[in-house]
Amino acid sequence: MKRLSVLDLRAASVANLLVVSVAIYAWAILSLDENLYYLTVQEDEYLEWMSFWAFFAAGLVYLRKAFAAGFSWRDGWFLLGLAGFCLFVAFEEISWGQRVVGFRPPEYFLETNFQQELNLHNVVDSDLRKLAVRLVIFGYGVVLPALAMVPVVGRLSGQLGVVAPPAALIPAFLATGVMQMTYPLKFTGEWVELMLGLCFLYSAVGVAGHRDTGDAPNRRLAAVSLSSLAVIALGVASSFATHYQRDRGPGNAAAARAELEALKQDFTSGRVSSRCGLHKRLYTFADQYQQGRLFTGEFSKLMQQGLPEQRAAYLLDPWNYAYWIRDNCASGDRERTTYLYSFGPNQRRESTKWEVRGDDIAVFIRGGGETR
């Protein structure tokens, strides 16, 4: 059986252009508005949700193709593996709904995951994670389709049930790989995730559209175009929906303000010392800079008033997400500004470097104002 995935020249050209346009868009908004760029790459913004929907859609297409003609392990194992990979990456991207639902992850992830989120990829060493991404990009996206074009290899892979992405998508995978290796922008990884998600989505379109007798080219072009529009629309809609999600606990905002005031006392009393130029989760800050008194100070004493022990141990806000510290060094006519903050009810960062925005809740230690 022939196991090829195909995109005609027009569909492949559009797909390659769309993947590269992600990088161009990133450069454009960074050049035009640094604050907008910074907010775009935050969790639960449209960029992250677009990455989720790209991988999710690819996973569904691969899954459907695996079972389309009656599943057999010989012909379907590789497609099933691709589906599992894409769906796994999709849900890892949104931490399996942690911020949407607001649940507290198991203690293992609170302690070992530097993001204190329910996902596995941030538990893995950073160098190994980067290596794995490169192997996927270049191994699956470049080497495999190039080898599949060799007749003897193509026949062997067909017999084994291995399905290579369309060779016409090699430029898209190469562009993604170059972005990942050179890391030309801050938060390049966020853009690479979307680019790679689109690469897999368009590869899945090639797999789904293939027939031994060939498909109409217009159908493939339409599939690439419509899937791209769907990813954009769903990404924007999901971001909008999570931005306005309601607080499930009416007393949470008041509790966060009281807890931030207690944390502020730990700093102003001299028990805990900050340093300018940092922006970290409080738990990471305490661990990295040996500020263990954060775990025994005024914040910890709130356990006597009902603060859950696990939230106290891992410096979590009422929505079970991390409290943060941002300490800005003096810059130009700006004085040094230090503030502690929570993402608030919608669990997404809306504040900029110098300003607290949206429903974020913060206390300023010096050079700021009142609790917000």
Q: Does 313 lie in the same domain as 265?
A: yes
pLDDT tier at 371, thresholds 50, 70, 90: very low
- Asked whether residue 251 carries a pLDDT value surpassing 90, the answer given is no
Residue span of the structural domain in which 22 resides: 9-242
pLDDT of 362 reads 95
Question: What does R_g of the chain's alpha carbons equal in angstroms?
Answer: 24
Domain assignment present for residue 371? The answer is no
For the record, the structure tokens of 348 come out as 């997404």
Together in a domain, 53 and 178:
yes
User: What mean pLDDT is predicted for residues 340-359?
Assistant: 86
Lowest pLDDT segment from 44-58, 241-255, 317-331, 333-347: 241-255
**Res. 233: pLDDT tops 70:** yes
What confidence category does residue 83 fall into, taking pLDDT thresholds of 50, 70 and 90? very high
Same domain, 55 and 119: yes
**What pLDDT score does 125 carry?**
76
Residue 132 CA: distances (Å) to CA of 78, 125, 128, 299, 361: 18, 11, 6, 40, 37
| Angstrom distance (rounded) from CA 207 to CA 295 | 53
Residue type, position 358, single letter: G
Q: For residue 111, what pLDDT band results from cuts at 50, 70 and 90?
A: confident
CA neighbor of 205 nearest in space, from 179, 236, 172? 172
pLDDT value of position 100:
76
**Local structure of 119: helix, strand or coil:** coil
Average pLDDT over the chain, rounded to an integer: 87
What is the reported pLDDT for 269? Answer: 87
63 falls within a domain:
yes
Report residue 110's pLDDT band, with 50, 70 and 90 as the boundaries: confident
Q: In this structure, what token pair is assigned to residue 2? A: 């022939």
Q: What's 27's DSSP letter?
A: H
Same structural domain, 180 and 222: yes
pLDDT of residue 71: 66
The pLDDT value given to residue 240: 87
For residues 49 and 120, membership in a common domain is answered with yes
Report pLDDT for 188: 96
266 and 128, same structural domain?
Answer: no
Domain contains 140: yes
Whether pLDDT at 122 is above 60: yes
Percent of the chain with pLDDT over 90: 53
3-state helix, strand, coil in the chain (%, to 5): 60, 5, 30
Within this chain, do residues 154 and 259 fall inside the same structural domain, yes or no?
A: no
In this prediction, residue 66 has a pLDDT band, given cuts at 50, 70 and 90, of confident
- The reply to whether 25 falls in a domain is yes
1 found inside a domain: no
Residues 217 and 274 in one domain: no
In tens, the pLDDT along 138-187 reads: 999 999 999 988 988 878 887 788 889 999 999 999 999 999 999 999 99
pLDDT of residue 166: 93
Residue identified by tokens 């329910």 is 118
Specify whether 151 is located in the same domain as 195: yes
Q: What is the pTM of this model?
A: 0.81
- Look at the chain and report how many structural domains it folds into: 2
Residues 214 and 271 in one domain: no
User: Which of 189, 209, 242 marks a domain boundary?
Assistant: 242
Residues 150 and 259 in one domain: no
Residue 5's pLDDT band, with cuts at 50, 70 and 90, is low
What is the mean pLDDT of the segment spanning 224-237? 96
- Same structural domain for residues 198 and 51? yes
Range with the largest mean pLDDT of 57-71, 92-106, 241-255: 57-71
Q: Examine residue 3 and state whether it is found in any structural domain, yes or no.
A: no
* HSE toward the beta carbon, residue 79, CA cutoff 13 A: 29
pLDDT digits (tens, 9 = 90+) for 206-221: 888 655 445 566 788 8
In a domain, 230, yes or no: yes
